[in-house]
Structure 1
Amino acid sequence: MAANHSSDDENTRLYNPYQKFDVPVSPQLLYKLPVSPEFLFTEESLKKRRSWGENLTFYTGTGYLGGSVAGATAGVFSGVRSFEFGDTAKLKINRILNSSGQKGRAWGNRIGVVGLIYAGIESGVVAFTDRDDIWTSVVAGLGTGAIFRAARGVRSAAVAGALGGIAAGAVVAGKQVFKRYAHI
């Protein structure tokens, strides 16, 4: 067993299920686990990104959740600011709950729609160009901002598109920097 390395030994690692118990274990009881992730189908191993449906669900869901939490937090502060002299504790709680629920719903819906538009445009650009890089995200951000503010006029759509493109590029660039320098 000294110099007998096969290709199977390079693709596996030994796992000791009893390592927490400080029990001496013979090598026959160790398991050989694969080093690379396991996939049921080979097509899954070739895929490097989420599908358009997964993308749509992810961006819309996280946008709605994040917007709801941010809106509810803003609603709490708005509810506290609306207190009047002589309000009972029950009335104060009612004002906070009403304000946080109203703002949470509104912000969640708005940011969820932004995530929906972004996911649709990004998936369309990836399907059209067959590449996924920082420019895909910038184009998707640009289009999202323009579509989201299109009802307010051309100037508003252009400004929102530019801000959306800059924001999407900054997020993707920040993600790349974080992956490179923060080893988590």
Structure 2
Amino acid sequence: MAYQPKDPNQSNDESSSNRRLYNPYQDLHLPAKTLYNLPTSPEFLFQEEAVAQRRSWGENLTYYTGIGYLAGATAGAAKGFGSGVKAIERTDTTKLKINRILNGSGHAGRQIGNRCGVIGLMYAGLESGMVAFRETDDVINSVVAGLATGALYKAAAGPRSAAVAGAIGGVLVGLAVTGKQALKRYVPI
């Protein structure tokens, strides 16, 4: 029976004898500690997922594309904010000043965010392809994927630009992987 408010016209003896507050937990004779004792290890639906110690290619694709777009959009918005502030003139009204800043932030944030998102998409696809091709997950896959991503991204600008961008991509990914391993080893998390 659900809770029903007391009728002021009824006497106290009558209302308290046939009505009570509803408690949905009254038949669960569990201690409160076991209700909130959740497992700390990940739970998997299939055994194959528990054996694999890396994200699937779809998760990888979503993760790197999202991180790339978010980082690029943030950096681009900061750059656009600076250019918007520089574009302000003495005679501008407050509305016009805000408009210049917002337009600059939005334009640069969108451009750089899209570029970084595409780079993340290409890197995730190439890294997952390397793992599938080599059937092993190691640092070589990441570095080669970074090298290929840089080269493919700048391939339309010519072979020299592609080679430089590939070298930069490989070095950046190598530094990131080395930093991640050092962080795992020396920083207890």
1:164 aligned residue (148, 151, 169): 169
Asked whether 1:105 is paired with 2:71, we answer no
State the Cα RMSD in Å.
Answer: 1.9
- Structure with higher Rg: it is 2
Once the two structures are aligned, what percentage of the paired residues are identical? 63
Cα distance change, pair 147–83 in 1 and its aligned pair in 2 (3 A): same
Aligned counterparts of 1:59 and 1:148: Cα–Cα separation in 2? 15
Aligned counterparts of 1:141 and 1:47: Cα–Cα separation in 2? 23
Residue 129 of structure 1 is matched in structure 2 by 134
Matched residues, number? 159
Question: Deviations along 1:118-157, whole A, 9 cap, x unmatched?
Answer: 0111011000001111111100000000000001000000
Residue 176 of structure 1 is matched in structure 2 by 181
Alignment of 1:20-99 (within 5 A): 36-99=41-104
Q: Compute the displacement of 1:39 (Å).
A: 2.1
Aligned counterparts of 1:182 and 1:118: Cα–Cα separation in 2? 27
1:148 aligned residue (131, 153, 171): 153
SS state of the match for residue 65, structure 1? helix
What's the TM-score, normalizing by structure 2? 0.79
What's the TM-score, normalizing by structure 1? 0.81
Q: Compute the displacement of 1:37 (Å).
A: 3.4
Aligned counterparts of 1:91 and 1:31: Cα–Cα separation in 2? 54
In terms of fraction of residues, the more strand-rich structure is 1
Deviation beyond 4 Å, 4+ runs, structure 1: 29-36
Aligned counterparts of 1:31 and 1:82: Cα–Cα separation in 2? 56
Q: Which amino acid aligns with 2:161?
A: S
Cα distance change, pair 100–36 in 1 and its aligned pair in 2 (3 A): closer
Aligned counterparts of 1:44 and 1:167: Cα–Cα separation in 2? 30
Unaligned 5+ residue runs, structure 1? 1-15, 19-28
Cα distance change, pair 85–30 in 1 and its aligned pair in 2 (3 A): closer
Question: Deviations along 1:73-123, whole A, 9 cap, x unmatched?
Answer: 111111001111111111000000000000000000000000011011101
